[in-house]
Amino acid sequence: MVPPGYHSPMAGQPLRVAVLGAGTVGREVVRALSTGWGQPDLELSGVAVRDLAKAEAAGMPSSRLTDAPAHLIADEADVVVELMGGEEPARTLIAAALGAGLPVVTANKYVLARHGAELERIARESGAALRYEASVMGGTPILRLLAEDLVGARAHAFEGIVNGTTNYILSEMAASGASYEAALAAAQNAGYAEADPTSDVEGGDAADKLVILARLAFGAWLDRGSVVNRSDHGKPGITGVVAEDLAAAADEGLAIRLLARARRGEERGPIGAAVRATAVDARSGFAGTVGVRNRIEIVTDRLGTITIEGPGAGGAATAAAVLADLAAIQGRRGSTWAHLPPASSATSVAPEPASWFEGPSGARYPVER
């Protein structure tokens, strides 16, 4: 019998991989699949984009390109890799593939944070695997850590830097005096930012990742709309952070980082969670996490605190997680949540910080020491 989550190709045939999207991440995945990344039983069957000429100019194999993703899925796929981003048509294509029993690998935190519960239900019903390691921390394997390696320990809380673009901006502004605009432009050029960087700088991307982490850490899909991403001054994400605040924080032995924090609530109660520009001890691991790197600390019962740090964005780093998920599908390991019970649902309530740091701009940042 074929195990759940594994779509069986014709006997003796390689698994046909359809890649939707050939941008920063998709390009790297296509290159790996085209140059024999080391998994001989996977074959690139097609690459869906909007602009065929642009993809060809970027070196994508012209014989494999199509602008019809739904047909590619229906006719030439044993596995679907969704790297288009955005809500639609990504959500519909993922749902259709799962509903048809095809395993899906995606990096799309936007879709997962809003439609994760529905996609999990479809995947459980059809038996198709849904894997999404690349959706949080780029290539750094946080989701597998939570969903597999830590199943013997109960996670009480986690906090972390989960957005590479904003961490790059904050640490560049503090270290080199780069302007906000110059640091954002450099992060965009390096391929770290989303197609619309508003979701990075306003904390929406970090809030999406918080929802995905909470599903695996606490067993509940959080209502995305309830996750607060504003600091006390009312400006979202890092949009209210100015150079004068960073300098004043440094004078007091603090650094500013965009932190996503969540704490398990009572059974069926709300989860305490928020994404905020936060003042951290300048000697802490969070302050020492600079550039595009991400860092998450998970507080557990049996293991105490576990920390994971690594690259959080970028084409090559993120492709590493996509390829690891493809190998997991080939190895018949099921969905990212395979070792966990079905999820419940929960809302989020922003916790009140114990103390605040007030910058010269008048903005107040919660203090975490």
Residue, CB closest to ligand NAP: 23
Q: Show Cβ contacts of residue 302 under 8 Å, excluding neighbours closer than 6 positions.
A: 152, 153, 154
Which segment (93-101, 114-122, 158-166, 229-237) binds ligand HSE by CB under 6 A?
Answer: 158-166
Beta bridge partners of 19: 47, 81
- In one-letter notation, the amino acid at residue 178 is A
- Give me the catalytic one of 54, 109, 209, 235: 209
Which segment (70-78, 92-100, 159-167, 344-352) binds ligand HSE by CB under 6 A?
Answer: 159-167
Binding site for ligand NAP (CB under 6 A): 21-26, 48-51, 54, 69, 83-85, 89, 107-109, 134, 138, 191-192, 194-195, 313-314, 318
| Residue from 159, 202, 205, 309 binding ligand HSE (CB under 6 A) | 205
| Residue from 28, 120, 194, 309 binding ligand HSE (CB under 6 A) | 194
Torsion of CA 246, 248, 249, 250, to 10 degrees: 90
- In Å, how far are 33, 41, 150, 296, 342 from 312, measured between CA atoms? 22, 29, 21, 11, 27
Angle between helices 204-218 and 109-126 (to 10 degrees): 30
Q: Quote the CA–CA distance of 22 and 164 in Å, as a whole number.
A: 21
CB closer to ligand NAP, 191 vs 334: 191
CB closer to ligand NAP, 31 vs 264: 31
| Residue from 33, 193, 246, 280 binding ligand HSE (CB under 6 A) | 193
With beta carbons less than 8 A apart as the criterion, state whether 115 and 123 touch: no
The answer to whether residue 209 is catalytic is: yes
Cα–Cα nearest to 9, from 77, 71, 73? 77
Could you say which of ligand NAP, ligand HSE, none residue 54 binds, taking C-beta under 5 to 8 angstroms by partner kind?
ligand NAP
Could you say which of ligand NAP, ligand HSE, none residue 203 binds, taking C-beta under 5 to 8 angstroms by partner kind?
none
CB closer to ligand HSE, 122 vs 241: 241
Q: Map the footprint of ligand HSE across residues 295-314, applying CB under 6 A.
A: 312-313
**Tokens 């921390």, residue?**
137
Q: Does 108 bind ligand HSE (CB under 6 A)?
A: no
DSSP three-state, residue 23: coil
Tell me the longest C-alpha to C-alpha distance in the chain: 68
Please measure the distance between the N-terminal and C-terminal CA atoms of the chain and give it in whole angstroms: 53
Q: Does 353 bind ligand HSE (CB under 6 A)?
A: no
Q: So which residues are the catalytic ones? A: 209
Applying CB under 6 A, which residues contact ligand HSE?
138, 163-165, 192-194, 200, 205, 312-313
